[in-house]
Amino acid sequence: MTRGFKIGLGTALAGAAIYLYYTEVKPVVIFGLRSDYAHAIPFQKVPDGLTSLKAESCGQCHREIYEEWKTSIHARAYEDPFFQAYWKKDKNIWVCLNCHTPLENQQPTLIKDIPRGRVEKAAQEPNPHYDPEYQKESITCAVCHVRDGVIYGPFEDSAAPHPTKFDPNFRTAQICYRCHNVESGPAQFYNVGPCGTYAEYEGKFFMQERGFICQSCHMPEIDRPVALNSPIRRGRQHLWRGGHDPDMVKRAVAVQVKVDAISPKPGDRIVFTLTLVNAGAGHKIPTGDPDRHFTVEFSVEDQHGHVLDQQNSTMGRWIMWQPAIVELYDNRLLPLASREYQFDYRIPDKAGSLKVKTRVQYHILTDTQHAMLRTKYGLTGNEPYRFIVYEREFPLSSGLAAAVQESNRLVVSGSQSHGGNCTAQG
């Protein structure tokens, strides 16, 4: 066997192995298929007593709930610009619709078979029941509440002009499981699935001691009539505020700053310690999409706004995407956990008026990814993809101690002002 033949054979075998890896092993999407979200929720007919499955029809009686739903990210899960851009990047693969427009009624094709779990090889046929306008309602009322012509809900004694049935899952976190516990697939080595908020949920303090479920924070309790002219009872707001809502993120985070010098002078070395606490979330922060992260930033500025020194730290997940998905590092905060970030600076001997700025920012994606989505995949709109969670300035002078004390007082009072069980620890 000649050396050239061996090289050719080796090259052919390597090429075949690579081909088989990408066509038979590595999924084309960044998650694996679990049976309950590998297929759309089966076609649902309109229950007796209703004119339509559309949310507006439900809103004729459940007006307040309907108005809340319209403000939610659930109602925009399909038309959301970030989803549309990422979906275009993934060549509009059908499986993403199973969480963003979950009902078969909302999808243009029917998936008849998924050979070997390969989503790109799925056997599809046109869906005669597809309603493109209904698709735009994304995670609409019927996604959670309609099955087999019956309205399911959390009450055992409902009296309504349509068939109803009590479902105990509405009183547990199980109702959120299908789409908020996306798991990993072959050649994907996550610590937790790519969108594994459900799996991250802390079960000891929040669940056992305080009795919290996902809905405790994301669907706050409220006393009101569930429908027009019905008695007042305790239900839940249909808001689902989360990682795209600045106020919700701020409510999950507590920040405290300390310094090791009360009245610093030129020539002194001063150390700032910023403590970041996951004070109000029952899961890791950040959670959800692996791109989300926090940055903790320090900078020193002179009286003219010139930056003399700076330091940035990142909290999130570091993932290698090719040739296999490997989660390299995860330094996110567990519920009730904290982390200290230190910044030390020597004040110049001939310093003028200097100040230290501290800032914590939450990022839905990186600047590079945002630019890529805009230039290559048609991301439109000006929806914020990062926002400030905490920002303070501290003079490097005799007023430093007072500024630190005031900053920490404002953080505490701000946390308390939010009210509600979800922020009591903040």
Average pLDDT, rounded, for the chain? 90
As a whole number of angstroms, the distance between CA 399 and CA 411 comes to 19
Which two three-digit tokens encode residue 40? 């759309």
Q: Tell me the pLDDT tens digit for each residue of 116-141.
A: 999 999 999 999 999 999 999 999 99
Which of the two residues, 424 and 204, has the higher pLDDT score? 204
Query: 382: how many CB neighbours lie within 10 A of its CB?
Result: 6
Report the 10 Å Cβ neighbour count for 61. 18
Instruction: Give the predicted TM-score (pTM) of the model.
Output: 0.90
Q: What is the CATH number of domain 246-418?
A: 2.60.40.10
How far is the C-alpha of 71 from the C-alpha of 237, rounded, in Å? Answer: 11
Whether the per-residue pLDDT at 199 is higher than 90: the answer is no
What whole-number distance in Å separates Cα of residue 107 and Cα of residue 128?
Answer: 10
Asked if pLDDT for residue 196 goes beyond 90, the answer is no
Would you kindly state where each structural domain of the chain is located, as residue ranges? 31-236, 246-418
Q: How far is CA 59 from CA 65, 93, 233, 340, in A?
A: 7, 32, 18, 48
Distance of alpha carbon 121 from alpha carbon 126, whole angstroms: 16
> Per residue in 32-87, pLDDT tens?
999 999 999 999 999 999 999 999 999 999 999 999 999 999 999 999 999 999 99
The C-alpha atoms of residue 296 and residue 316 are separated, in whole angstroms, by: 11
Per-residue pLDDT at 129: 95
Contact 155, 170 (CB under 8 A): no
Query: How confident is the model at residue 411, as a pLDDT?
Result: 61
Q: What sections of 149-196 are H helices per DSSP?
A: none
Q: What is the pLDDT of residues 90-117, one digit of tens each?
A: 999 999 999 999 999 999 999 999 999 9
Q: Which residue has the higher pLDDT, 379 or 417?
A: 379
